[in-house]
Structure 1
Amino acid sequence: MQGPKILIADDMDYLVDYIITHLNTMWQGANYLRARNGYEVFTVSVKEKPDLILLDWEMPEFSGMDALVSLKSNEVTKDIPVIMISGFTKSGHVKKALEAGAIDYVRKPIEPEELLARVKTALTLAHTLRELKFQTARLEEEKFKLDRLLKGLLPEEILTTMKNSGDIAPKRFRNVTVIMADLVDFTVKSQKMSPKRLLDELQTIFTAFDQISEKHKCTRIKTIGDAYMAVTGMWNETSNHALTAAKMAERMRQYIIEHNKTHNIDWEIRIGLNSGDIIAGIISENNLSFDIFGDTVNTASRMQSYSNPMQINISQSTYDLIKGYYHVIRRVSRKVKGKGALNMYYLHRPIHVRTDKARSNIESRIKK
């Protein structure tokens, strides 16, 4: 081991010279710092961050013990190893020093071989602790990255269940609203962009959709190319899941309008809403993709595909839940393969309820 930075804190010059002389037999080129009282110990340690401090207990003005307490209570210096040196030989003093944070204790008069052995051990231990702290920090950083990655793949509630039990069983969710959104003419427009510009656009838009989803306490399920799927009412089962979905869809559409203005682009979006029951789960042990299934999902997809650009197309089931809150435009029923003719409605604008009594009447109608 060569070149450690060692702070020697003692007000007696001859003792400092004595310590340096013996330490020089172990290292060539070690860097020695000097402090004559507790104040200097603290200020030099903060500035220089030595590898080790040899600290005399009995120093004028501000004792070595006071300095030790200050060092261990400061974020910058708390991890610097300290060997206390003292003429106090009773075990009580040793105990007090170690409890205050000293890594070792050397009694005066100093025995050269003991000093060298304790200094070498302290530096080795300090190096090991630094490496351990560094590796721990790297593991924490990797864990943070992994958590962010998993959060992008799985709902937070699923992650919590996985951490607690490790088993994710399929589950039926009743009374939810599925939101399906898709960028119009994505393939055509993407051919006119560089790959980087295209990915930047998708990342920006979907990140904004995630934020909107989180604000409305909605569960983002997945993105498929330029399509975005989310569900309201899964984990926080409420009677107003359809209303929440409508508000979220409106905000998504408004975001696209705002995004086009600031990014000089002309994206358009189709959004479909449908309410009902779904089944959710992880479909493969080797694939952490969380997905939802059922007729409710299929119908939401049809609502989206039969929507015109920049419209929010809702099914009959969703309309029945929000008709007291929104004006809608009834559309001509469309024949859908395997389902026959389906009623569809465009979300138009919210109904502005002026009195609490009127709102109460609307809510009563919804519950019937």
Structure 2
Amino acid sequence: MENPKILIADDVDYLVEFMKSHLEQLLPDATYFRAANGYEVFTLAMRKQPDLILLDWEMPEISGMEALQTLQAHPQTKDIPVIMVSGFTQADHVRKALEAGAMDYLKKPIAPDELLARVRTAMTLADSMRQLRQQKQQLEEEKRRSDRILKGLLPAEVLQTMKEQSEIAPRRFRNVSVIMADLVDFTPKSQKMSPKRLLDELQTIFTAFDQICQKHNCTRIKTIGDAYLAVSGMWNHSHNHALVAAKMAERMRQYIIEHNERYKIDWEIRIGINSGDIIAGIISESNLSYDIFGDTVNTAARMQSYCNPMQINVSQTTYDHLKDYYFMIKRISRKVKGKGALNMYYLHRPIQSRQQLRQQQSHPQYAL
């Protein structure tokens, strides 16, 4: 260890000089500090963060044992190695010191060879422990970084399952609503932006979509280029999954409007929603990509692709879930290969409840 800092705590001046003079032979580049009582021990330990403390048990005001207990109780000083120095030679005192957190025990009168040997051992052990703590901190930081990456790739429920089980089995989810959105004319608009500006835009928009998704208790599945895929009712088995999906889609559209106003840009979005059953799972052991499959997903993609800019296009199954909550505009059916003609509807506006209507009739000044 280069240029170590050593704190010698003893109220007897000549003992301090005795230990320092011998330690300078072993550690000539060390910096030495002196504490005359237990209070000074803790104060200097906090301020100087020494690499080793030689702590006398019998000191005025606050004893060495009390100082050791205080050091051990504080997170900034608990890892500083301490050698307890004492005239107590009974085994019981040695045991108490070691149990209180001392690394070693040095008996008085102090033999110079024993002092050097114990300090050398303590410094070597302390350096090894310091390296282990650094490695632990690095591993913890790597784990946090990996967790952040995995959190961006996999739903929270899947991550929890991975912690509890070694395998993520494919699973069928019944009665959910799939939300698929993409940015209109993304390719031509992206060619007019620098790569950094483009990625900044996507990061800002998709981060906002993630927050909206989380607020509505939906599950973000993935992003594909400028497309965003999410599911409502996947883990919470909500009976009103379609209504939640519709509200999430409305908020996503409103966010794009607000984003355009704030950043003076003209993004537009198309959103398709379809309700039904899906299958979900990880398709490759070497690729931790959690995906969803099935006719419900394909139809949601059709709803999105047949949608006009800034509209929310829903399928017949989703319409059946939402007809009591929204006014919707029926569109011309579209023929889809393998499925025939598909009915589709634009989400128009929510149907006001009878209670809301009564409130407006009673208080017309609050009507929208």
**TM-score exceeds 0.5:** yes
**In structure 2, what is the equivalent of residue 41 of structure 1?**
41
Q: Is structure 2 residue 141 aligned with structure 1 residue 166?
A: no
Matched ranges for 1:1-368 at <5 A: 1-355=1-355
Could you tell which deviates more after superposition, 264-273 or 157-166? 157-166
For 1:50 and 1:293, how far apart are their aligned partners in 2? Answer: 60
Measured after TM superposition, the shift of residue 109 of structure 1 is 0.6
Shift of 1:355: 3.2
Instruction: Provide the C-alpha distance between the structure 2 equivalents of 1:207 and 1:158, rounded to a whole number of angstroms.
Output: 20
Q: What secondary structure is seen at the aligned counterpart in 2 of 1:134?
A: helix
- Shift of residue 3, structure 1, vs aligned partner: 2.7
Shift of 1:130: 1.1
Instruction: Name the SS for the 1:24 alignment partner.
Output: helix
- Contact 1:36–1:59, Cα closer than 8 Å, also in 2: yes
* Aligned equivalents of 2:104, 2:235: Cα separation in 1: 55
Task: Give 5+ residue unaligned stretches, structure 2.
Answer: 359-368
Aligned-partner residue type, residue 225 of structure 2: G
Moved more, 147-156 or 176-185: 147-156
Matched residues in 1 for 2:159 and 2:47: separation?
44
Shift of 1:7: 0.4
- CA shift, 1:299, in A, is 0.5
* In structure 2, C-alpha distance between the alignment counterparts of 1:168 and 1:2, rounded to whole Å: 50
Q: What percent of counterpart residues are identical?
A: 72
Q: Which residue identity is paired with 1:83?
A: I
Kept in 2, the 8 Å contact 1:37–1:62? The answer is yes
CA displacement at 1:52 relative to structure 2: 0.3
Give the C-alpha shift of residue 143 in structure 1. 0.6
Once the two structures are TM-superposed, the CA of residue 351 in structure 1 deviates from its matched residue by 1.4
**Distance in 2 of aligned mates of 1:246 and 1:46:** 57
CA contact (8 A) 1:2 1:27 kept: no
TM-score computed with the length of structure 1 as normaliser: 0.95
* Aligned-pair CA distance for 1:354: 3.3
For structure 1, the 5+ residue unaligned runs are 359-368
| Per-residue deviation, residues 85-142 of structure 1 (Å, max 9, x unmatched) | 0111111111111111111111111111111111111111111111111111111111
Secondary structure of 1:217's counterpart equals coil
Give the CA deviation at 1:147.
0.9
- How many residues end up aligned between the 2 structures? 357
Cα distance in 2 between the residues matched to 1:61 and 1:281: 66
Report the alpha carbon displacement of residue 2 of structure 1 after superposing the two structures with TM. 4.7
Shift of 1:159: 1.5
Q: Distance in 2 between matches of 1:219 and 1:345?
A: 24
- 1:181-231 Cα distance to aligned partner (Å, 9 max, x none): 010000011011000000000011111111111111111111110000011
1:85/1:105 contact within 8 Å kept: yes
1:355 counterpart SS class:
helix
